[in-house]
Amino acid sequence: MGLITKAIRGTQDVLPNDSYKWQHVEGVIRQVCDAFGYKEIRTPVFEHTELFARGVGDTTDVVQKEMYTFEDKGGRSITLRPEGTAGVARAILEHGLHNGALPLKAYYFTSCYRYEKPQAGRLREFHQFGAELYGASEPYADAEMIMLADETLKMIGLDGIELQLNSIGCPECRAKYHAALKEYFSSHIDELCPTCRDRLERNPMRILDCKSPVCSGIAEGAPVILDYICDDCRAHFEKVQELLTSCGIKFSINPQIVRGLDYYSRTVFEFVSKDLGAQATVCGGGRYDGLTKQLSDTEIPAIGFAMGLERIMLILEKKQNILPDQKTCDIYIASMGDRGAHKAFELVSDLRQEGFYAECDMMGRSLKAQMKYADKIGARFSMVLGDNELDTNKAVLKNMTDGSKTEVELGEKLIEEIYRHKIDRELADCVNGLSDGGEAEAMAALLGGLK
């Protein structure tokens, strides 16, 4: 019988040979978040549907077309999260975190679910890194959030990423802008898609975000939001630009950015890659001061962003020498006979407790098959244990790279010898890195080996 099913369309498996790349990227992100004072938050994969309808906006593509919504056995409408911010806002309000020290800084790694046409960089189950800052309304918070995203992308190793900024003003600004949009789009109403005709009265800004080529073409000639923002919003936006410039962060103004979710206000931004084709946005975010008010009686200023991890991985796969090599086995201890197998198992246990990646046979393979396996897993060293080695308490440690051999005593002497060889290897890697100009990477490799 064949496989009864395959992965659902729009999802993908991250296999063991690739998962270490994700772990590396996530590790870099955690280090950057630590430096900025952000702490991790984890929220449920599903929420009550009204959270997203109210927070994200019932005129958005996400709510109207893309959410995975179902009724549970209790008759409640439940939705798999299409994005991370609404759940974080709900958690902060529910647990009263906004009553503690402010600003509140949080980050998350999360899976999200949207029913969209699958393509490169756009899946139905996708993963995001997001960061949120609650309690600060000043432009400094906007600038820090953008700096956090910028630093994260740089530390991951991405280049060719362009930062684009816009301001979509406050509710008072947008009332005037909405009126201008209605007037403009009303003259094209017969050309708009059915969804955008509905949006014309309810939220004309959503037309600017429509994926229809016809609607997108019409939107290119629409009024520009920056011509309608009030003096306070303009001053806020100019201060954000001033702060970014003073910190050496380059950007351009893109008045077409409105973001796809209704909770945004004032500053919005995107980091766009030249390496992704149509799905060019790697990171998007902005301010959403009114989100908590939509979910409760409490209004808390907030700003945040989300990065698509699949898109980041797509870019990294195209780059050379950015992702580290997969960690390989430090030593494989082969064995002959029951005594050898038992001792190999004991030694592997001891080596693992000392921090080494050690393996031994668990399948009753022949010695030849064991050595083939050691080669396949990229073991740096190998050793064979049989009756003779156990009787003399000595064995031969073989360097699998250059074939050199060293006789060593079993037990603590073996651990010392492997550790010495490991340090020698890390030092050699460091020297090679320095000679290639990779000083930072080489020192990181050396320090990692000394831990």
- Summarised one tens digit per residue, pLDDT across range 35-59 is 999 999 999 999 999 998 887 766 5
CA-based max dimension of the chain: 94
Stretch 54-67: mean pLDDT: 72
Q: Are residues 308 and 406 in the same domain?
A: no
pLDDT at 427 over 70: no
Q: Is the pLDDT of residue 264 over 70?
A: yes
Same structural domain for residues 25 and 121? yes
198 within domain boundaries:
no
Q: Are residues 109 and 247 in the same domain?
A: yes
Domain span including residue 381 = 331-450
CB proximity list for 266: less than 8 A, separation 6 or greater: 142, 167, 168, 169, 170, 233, 236, 237, 286, 287, 289
Q: Is residue 220 one of the residues assigned to a domain?
A: no
Q: Measured between alpha carbons, how far is 136 from 289 in angstroms, rounded to an integer?
A: 9
User: What's residue 259's pLDDT?
Assistant: 67
Higher pLDDT among residues 361 and 319, named by residue: 361
Confidence (pLDDT) at 448: 47
312 and 356 belong to one structural domain: no
Confidence check: pLDDT of 275 > 50: yes
pLDDT confidence of residue 125:
93
CB 218, CB 191: distance < 8 Å: yes
Domain boundary among 295, 318, 341: 318
**How does residue 446 score in pLDDT terms, banded at 50, 70 and 90?**
very low
Q: Is residue 184 part of a domain?
A: no
Residue scoring higher pLDDT (108 or 279): 108
For residues 92 and 238, state if they share a domain.
yes
**266 inside domain:** yes
Do 344 and 420 share a domain, yes or no? Answer: yes
Q: Degrees (nearest 5) of the Cα angle 378, 342, 366?
A: 55
Question: Whose CA is closest to 229, among 176, 288, 280, 161?
Answer: 176
Are 336 and 432 in the same domain? yes
| Same domain assignment for residues 292 and 429 | no
Residues 390, 301, single domain; the answer is: no
| Model confidence at 395: pLDDT above 90 | yes
Counting residues of the chain whose pLDDT is more than 70, the rounded percentage is 89
pLDDT (0 to 100) of residue 58? 62
pLDDT-based confidence at residue 411 (cuts at 50, 70, 90): confident
Total domain count, the chain: 2
What is the pLDDT at residue 235?
A: 97
Does the structure show a pLDDT above 50 at 415? yes
7 falls within a domain: no
Given this model, what pLDDT does residue 442 score?
A: 47
Last residue of a domain, one of 260, 289, 318: 318
Residues 27 and 97 in one domain: yes
In the predicted structure, residue 413 carries a pLDDT above the cut 80: no
Name the H helices within 157-227: 171-186, 194-202, 213-219
Query: Could you read off the pLDDT of 107-149 as tens digits, one per residue?
Result: 999 999 999 888 776 789 999 999 999 999 999 999 999 999 9
Residues sharing a CB contact under 8 Å with residue 19, sequence separation 6 or more, in sequence order: none
Q: Which of 271, 288, 318 is the last residue of a domain?
A: 318
Do residues 104 and 75 make contact, with C-beta atoms less than 8 angstroms apart?
no
Q: Looking at the predicted structure, is the pLDDT value of residue 420 above 70?
A: yes
Domain match, 304 and 373 both? no
* pLDDT at residue 261, as a whole number: 62
**Does pLDDT of 176 surpass 50?**
yes
Residue 63: give its domain's CATH number: 3.30.930.10
Residue 430 lies in a domain: yes
pLDDT value, residue 60: 67
Phi then psi dihedrals of residue 328, to 5 deg: -110, 165
Instruction: Answer yes or no: is pLDDT of 447 > 70.
Output: no
For residue 8, tell me if it sits in a domain.
no
- Kindly state whether residues 145 and 48 are assigned to the same domain: yes
Average pLDDT, the chain: 88
Inform me whether the pLDDT recorded for 449 exceeds 50: no
| pLDDT the model gives residue 256 | 82
Q: Would you say residue 346 lies in a domain?
A: yes
Average pLDDT (196-221) is 85
Q: What is the pLDDT of residue 423?
A: 64
Q: What is the pLDDT of residue 422?
A: 67
CATH number at 378 reads 3.40.50.800
**pLDDT at site 430:** 52
Give residue 99's pLDDT band: very low, low, confident or very high (50, 70, 90).
Answer: very high
Is residue 298 scored above 80 in pLDDT?
yes
The values of phi and psi at residue 337, to 5°, are 85, 170
pTM exceeds 0.95, yes or no: no
Q: Of the ranges 166-175, 248-257, 317-326, which one carries the lowest mean pLDDT score?
A: 317-326
* Average pLDDT rounded to a whole number, residues 347-374: 94
Cβ proximity of 210 and 196 under 8 Å: yes
